[in-house]
Structure 1
Amino acid sequence: METLPYASTWPAEWTGQRRSGLLLFGTVFMGLLTVGVAVLAVTSEDLAGALIFAATAVYFAHLTALSLHSYRGGRHRSDTTGVRHEAAGLVFRYGAAPTYLLGAFVGMTVLALLGMSVRAAVQATTQGYVIAVVLALLAVVTGVFLAVFLKLAPGQVVVGPDGIHHRGLTFTHFVPWEAVVDVAALWAHSPVIFIRTIGSSATVTRNYLGRSTAGPQALSPFDTISGRWLAADPALLLQAVAHYIVHPQDRPELASDAALRRIAAS
Structure 2
Amino acid sequence: MSESDERLPWPEEWPYPGGWRQRATATVFALLGAGSALAAVTALSASPPDARGVIMAMCAPLFLGFAAVAVLTRLRVRNRGIASVRLEHVETVGSEAVVIPYSRGLTSTYVVMTVSMLALFGFFAAVSLLVITDGEPGGTGVVLLLVASGAATLYLLLLVVEALRGGLGRGVLALAPTGVYHRSWTFTSFFPWDSIISVTAGTSGGQLITTAVYDNGTPCFHRRSRLWRQPELSLAPHMGVQGVNLSVDPALAYHALRYYHRYPDARAELGSQAGAERIRRAELLEH
CA distance in 1, matches of 2:55, 2:99: 42
Counterpart mapping for 1:30-69 below 5 A: 30-44=29-43, 45=46, 46-47=48-49, 49=51, 50-69=53-72
Relative to 1, partners in 2 of residues 1:27 and 1:80: Cα closer, same or farther, differing over 3 Å?
closer
The match for 1:214 is none
Match of 1:192 in 2: 208
The answer to whether the Cα contact below 8 Å between 1:203 and 1:218 also exists between their aligned partners in 2 is: no
1:230-266 deviation per Cα after TM superposition (whole angstroms, max 9, x unaligned):
1112233222212221222332322111112233234
Shift of 1:73: 4.4
Contact 1:74 1:190 in 2 (8 A): no
**Superposed displacement of residue 188, structure 1:** 4.7
DSSP 3-state at the match of 2:99: strand
Distance apart, 1:160 and its partner CA: 0.9
1:68-217 maps to which residues of 2 (within 5 A)?
Answer: 68-77=71-80, 80-87=82-89, 88-123=96-131, 124=133, 127=140, 128-149=142-163, 151=166, 152-186=168-202, 188=204, 191-200=207-216, 202-210=218-226
Structure-1-length-normalised TM-score: 0.81
- Displacement of 1:142: 2.8
Residue identity in the other structure for 2:170: P
Once residues 130 and 11 of structure 1 are traced to their aligned partners in structure 2, the CA distance between those partners, rounded to angstroms, is 48
1:227 maps to 2:247: no
Q: What percent identity do the matched residue pairs reach?
A: 22
The whole-number CA distance in structure 1 between the counterparts of 2:22 and 2:114 is 19
8 A contact 1:34–1:60 mirrored in 2: yes
SS of the equivalent of 1:47 reads coil
Q: TM-score, normalised by structure 2?
A: 0.76
Paired AA for residue 159 in structure 2: F
CA drift of 1:29 comes to 2.2
